[in-house]
Amino acid sequence: MTIALSSSLDLFATTVLDRLDAQSLRRTVTETTPQDAVLVHRNGKELVSFSSNDYLGLAHDSRLKKAAIDAIHTYGTGSGASRLVVGNHPLFEELERKLAELKGTEAAVVVGSGYLANTGIIPTLVGPNDVILMDEYVHACIHAGAHLARSKVITFRHNDTEDLYALLEINRPQHRHALIITDGVFSMDGDIAPISALHALATAYDAWLMTDDAHGVGVLGSNGAGSSHTETPSIPVDLQMGTLSKALGGYGGYLCASQPVIDLILTRCRPFIYSTGLPPAAVASAIEALRIIEEDTELCARPVNNARLFTSLLNLPEAQSPIVPVIIGDTEKTLKIARHLESLGFLVVPIRPPTVPAGTARLRVTFSAQHTKDQIRTLASLIRPFVGRGA
């Protein structure tokens, strides 16, 4: 019986993989050894990486490494269990306080990852009698969280507040609560949500606004506070979610909100309740990263400035974030161009459907504070022949 089941399972997996191979959509993992913030070794070659979300280069910063090592010596390598079971070591309180201060909220809570955060926050706050309205390009984990909430889910056209207004007019009166969700910075396109307009609509319709600012914190806004802090005064977003794994150079997810909301998350959010707390090293490195972000505004500005140098060299629309998509369209052509760039010493990972819509395969070029202008100019010269030609 076991052998037959294994055989049918292998046959199923092989059939699906063969179909994905035929469409150039099979995914594989390639061993890659980081050397520093931008240099990696892959397939026996040193490459300049333009594919990492380590926007500030802090994952290799000696100050974060020291903070992590010191935390291991003091608190050990793991947290042992859920924080509700074993309690908090003192670093958790410090990290959550610093996150709340950065985002201008009353409180914050840290969870295992950004994906876990969104799959827990959303179903904690809304349910079957509620409606979720989300931008069509939000991250996959938001879709997962919305599915778990069992609410009515409606997508509005990307960054289109008129479409959202029309949908609210029709749907808001029919539901107990409404939750509007958007990425702060969209991870595949690099553009920024119209958060001020979204907040105005949320206020007018008694809806709650949630932003996923994974790609905004550390690189946008006052002192790297993120996408809802690019205006003065900052936009008072109800639910500011983000990650510790990109500009902060580590791992983990968080929510910044009012004290009652955070208290509810501590009580009802399943990924918080039923997951082991972050390792002390991850918490300590995030604290140090926040200290650096608070003190070094020039560092926080550099990734976007580097991205804008790249877009100016290629006559592309000015970058709004450290993410610049170069749309090729055809999947196989995109893969071919990425292989060509790698042969010339540059790692620019291609992005294919279903991560992006069909027909929009692209080179997703990301910029670090640690990239040099010469590296950026060289990459731009290599990509120039493919810009605007789709091949």
Q: Which residue has the tokens 């709650």?
A: 208
Q: How many CA atoms, within 13 angstroms, populate the side-chain half-sphere of residue 127?
A: 3
The burial of 73, by beta-carbon neighbours within 10 Å (0-12 exposed, 13-18 middle, 19 or more buried), is given as exposed
Tell me whether residue 187 is one of the annotated catalytic residues: yes
Which candidate in 51, 52, 113, 187 is catalytic?
187
Q: What is the DSSP string of 319-387?
A: PSSSEEEEEEE-HHHHHHHHHHHHHTTEE--EE-TTTS-TT-EEEEEE--TT--HHHHHHHHHHHGGGT
Instruction: Name the 3-class secondary structure at 281.
Output: helix
Catalytic residue flag (residue 215): yes
Annotated catalytic residue within 98, 103, 199, 215: 215
| Full DSSP string of 195-209 | HHHHHHHHHHTT-EE
Helix (H, G, I), strand (E, B) or coil at 43: coil
Burial of 232: CB neighbours in 10 Å, binned 0-12, 13-18, 19+:
exposed
Nearest to 171 by CA among 138, 130, 128: 130
| Contact of 182 with 156, CB cutoff 8 Å | no
Tokens 């990924």 map to which residue? 271
Query: What single letter denotes the amino acid at residue 331?
Result: T
Catalytic residue positions? 187, 215, 246
